Amino acid sequence: MTMETQHHHHKRVLHTGILAFAPIFLFTLWSVYYFIILGNFIVNQRLGEHLEIAGRTLQYYTPLFILFGVNFLVTLGAFLFFLWNIWTRPEVPSGNKVVWVVFLATFNIIAFPVYWYMHIKHDFVRHKNASPALS
């Protein structure tokens, strides 16, 4: 592997790693923001006040919706990228591909970092080896 190829590979690993972890980071950010908004209800154990909680949620609807929408779009993009990535890998047996597709679709924000770690992070080490399977 030439120095330029190695640099390109490390850059690709970094970018796909960011893509793999971005959905879980964005969902965590959205959750923390929502819990801050409802902090008074949580701290004072007033979770039974449904109308007040709904009113507070409605008051902050736009930023919550925007954060959630961005999270959805990033997650959808990551899903499509990792789906394309696993399906176009010639070294991965078809059975493993199907298992990975189901795993990515079912557990998406948790599955993306797992897939990235098992298939993309160490690609250059396992260049000719068989694909790791979930089963």
Distance separating alpha carbons of residues 71 and 23, to the nearest angstrom: 6
Q: What is the pTM of this model?
A: 0.78
The tokens for 25 are 């980071």
Q: What is the pLDDT of residue 39?
A: 79
Mean per-residue pLDDT of the chain: 84
Q: What is the pLDDT of residues 45-99, one digit of tens each?
A: 877 777 888 888 888 889 889 999 999 999 999 999 999 999 998 888 888 899 9
